[in-house]
Amino acid sequence: MYNPFRKTYSQSELEQFKFLSKIKFFERLRYSELSVFLPAIHRRKYEKNEVIFFRNDPSQALYILEKGEVSLNIDIKSNFESIITLRSSGAFGENSMLEGSKRIYTAIVQSEEAWLWVIPNYAILEIFKNNPKIQAKMMTSLAEFYNQNNNRLFSSYLNSYGFFNLGQMFE
């Protein structure tokens, strides 16, 4: 049934919604809910080997990789060990959805250039404050994401024959 009062979106907005809908943290949101993020999104270009953020930095933004490659790394003494390399449609910096959090890894551009959508933490928290349904949907996705990571961590531990002390994780 046609509703003449229903909000319509531009082609550009529809393309942005389609892209955001591929991202784990936004997959549950309707277009009307996604639209509240559009004013907060900044598109930024990064160069090869540019550090997007370091471990222990304040979590000031959520990043969505539009084009390029970004490695997520942990620093062990003076070396970096890559955890994963993300490609287009990958999101990182997810703990920016949590108030007062710090980065747990370092993000570095691996490709010649990378185009990222940056959503500041303060904007996300403001959207959550004014839209509890959006917050509930995104927190559910974040919980699923962390659950998948925990499953991979425990599986990796089992496959490594206990070469690290998993008990330290719970201290």
Q: Does residue 103 surpass a pLDDT of 60?
A: yes
Q: What's residue 120's pLDDT? A: 98
* Per-domain boundaries in the chain: 12-159
Q: What's residue 7's pLDDT? A: 78
Q: Does residue 170 surpass a pLDDT of 60?
A: no
What's the rounded Cα separation, in Å, for the pair 84 and 147? 17
β-partners of residue 120 are 61
Q: Are strands 61-67 and 91-92 parallel, antiparallel or unpaired?
A: antiparallel
What's the rounded Cα separation, in Å, for the pair 4 and 124? 31
Whole-number average pLDDT of the chain? 89
Residue-wise pLDDT tens digits, 140-152 = 999 998 888 877 7
Residue-wise pLDDT tens digits, 104-133 = 999 999 999 999 999 999 999 999 999 999
User: For the residues 79-87, what does the mean pLDDT come to?
Assistant: 88
Does domain 12-159 sit in CATH 3.40.50.300?
no
Cβ atoms within 10 Å of 55's Cβ, excluding its own: 15
CA atoms within 13 A on the CB side of 128: 17
In single-letter form, the type of residue at position 158 comes to L
Q: Does residue 40 surpass a pLDDT of 80?
A: yes
**Residue 20 pLDDT class (50, 70, 90 cuts):** very high
User: For the residues 88-96, what does the mean pLDDT come to?
Assistant: 93
